[in-house]
Amino acid sequence: SEINVFCPATIANISCGFDVLGVALDSVGDGMVVRKRAEKGITIVKLEGQKLPMETALNVAGVAGLALLEKSDYEGGFDIEINKKIKAGSGIGSSAASASGAVWAMNELLERPFTKLELVEFAMEGERLASGVAHADNVAPAIFGSFTLVRSYAPLDIVPIPSPSELYATVIHPQIEVKTSDSRKILKTNITLKEGIKQWGNLGGLVAGLFTQDYALIGRSLEDHIVEPIRSILIPGFDQVKSGAMHAGALGCGISGSGPSIFAFSKGQDTANKVAASMKKVYRNIGIEYDVHVSKIN
Ligand code: HSE
């Protein structure tokens, strides 16, 4: 038996939620086919769209799948076909899409022996391979859908958060590659109490705004004074994209994951489209190729 799954792209961090907040995009993602087989183990039999390692132990879907197999009493194995549409190093959870898609599919084929929380734990092994850190802020929303908060890593505690009904994301990917591992290395490891206060005030405000559909509160809370000032240096045109997006009516704008993609949230599709136009203009002027997506958040 086999299953065909959609592996969503995700925006992680969402400004004030470094390593703890993320959201799934229903309209951007990879395709994957997973097939049961008698022989133990996992084989990536096909990988289209991107140049990535196919060897199981070096492939994020392979590694996440092996983590699942290790905890399963299933005697057989799986073949995986991946149709990568999300570019590696784009900042919209390319590795998370593959890792979470693989374990989601396997769990379905095995008739759901594992909880979503356990699937997140398996998929995190893929993230460990990709970035050196088993962060869950992309894989959790890919598995749970909509927004998620990683309330705690040890023990893992994921809080699903609903999306307000008119919330849209605009994401632009300037065609330069930023490796998550590199953009983690440049971060400071200490913050001041004053910075902490700002950040957790905003994080609480953002979560409250999402639950109560308070767009103005969401907008006020989309701030990050800790990571964004450092990482934005790696993204040409970031400040212009952000000010243009805010001018076009976005609620807020920041770096998607570890970049170089930039996201903005808007209330309503019209504004999200205007934000997309303003973002494109910046990269047209600078002369950098880009992809842009407008997605309703469900
Ligand atoms: N939280 C991770 C980071 C997400 O910002 O490094 C990477 O997609």
Interface pTM, i.e. ipTM: 0.98
Ligand 1-lining residues (CB < 6 angstroms): 12-13, 18-19, 93, 135, 137-138, 180, 184, 257-258
109 CB burial (10 A radius; 0-12, 13-18, 19+): middle
Q: Is 48 a catalytic residue?
A: no
125, 127, 223, 228: the catalytic one is 127
Give me the mean pLDDT over the 61-72 stretch: 98
Give pTM, 2 decimals: 0.96
What is the CA(39)–ligand 1 centre distance, in A?
35
CA of 13 to the centre of ligand 1 (A): 7
* Residues 10-64 pLDDT 10s: 999 999 999 999 999 999 999 999 999 999 999 999 999 999 999 999 999 999 9
181, pLDDT greater than 90: no
- The pLDDT assigned to 279 comes to 98
**Per-residue pLDDT for 179 more than 90?**
no
pLDDT of residue 129: 96
Bridge partners (DSSP) of residue 99 are: none
Q: Output the CA–CA distances (angstroms, integers) from residue 203 to 43, 128, 164, in the order listed.
A: 40, 25, 16
Q: What is residue 9's predicted lDDT score, i.e. its pLDDT?
A: 98
| Ligand 1 atom closest to 19 (CA) | 1
Strand order in the sheet with 290-296: 252-255, 262-267, 167-174, 290-296
What are the phi and psi torsion angles at 93 (to 5°)?
A: 70, 45
What atom of ligand 1 comes closest to residue 258's alpha carbon?
A: 5
Catalytic residue among 170, 180, 223, 228: 180
Mean pLDDT of 223-230: 97
Q: pLDDT class for 245, splitting at 50, 70, 90?
A: very high
CA 237 to chain CA centroid, nearest Å:
22
Q: How confident is the model at residue 97 (pLDDT cuts 50, 70, 90)?
A: very high
Q: For a pocket test of ligand 1, which of 25, 135, 173 has the largest count of ligand atoms closer than 8 A to its C-beta?
A: 135
Atom of ligand 1 nearest to the CA of 12: 4
Is 73 within 8 Å of 38 (Cβ atoms)?
Answer: no
Residue 130 has pLDDT above 90, yes or no: yes
Contact 181, 131 (CB under 8 A): yes
Count CB neighbours of 279 within 10 A: 28
In the residue annotation, 127 being an active-site residue is answered as yes
Give me the percent of the chain exceeding a pLDDT of 70.
100
Specify the pLDDT at position 101. Answer: 98
SS3 letters across 214-255:
CHHHHHHHCCCCCCHHHHHHHCCCHHHHHHHHHHCCCCEEEE
| Ligand 1 atom having least distance to the Cα of 10 | 8
User: pLDDT by residue (tens digit) across 147-166?
Assistant: 999 999 999 999 999 999 99
Q: Is the pLDDT of residue 121 over 90?
A: yes
Report how far ligand 1's centroid is from the alpha carbon of 20 (Å). Answer: 9
pLDDT tops 90 at residue 180: no
What pLDDT, on the 0 to 100 scale, is given for residue 211? Answer: 98
What's the 242 CA to ligand 1 centre distance in angstroms?
19
Angle (nearest 5°) at CA 209 between 208 and 213: 125
What is the best residue among 15, 19, 149, 231 to mutate for testing ligand 1's pocket, by most ligand atoms within 8 Å of CB? 19
Q: What single letter denotes the amino acid at residue 105?
A: A
- Sign of torsion over alpha carbons 247, 251, 255, 256: negative
Residue 177 confidence (pLDDT): 82
| pLDDT value of residue 185 | 92
Nearest-CA residue for ligand 1 atom 4 is 257
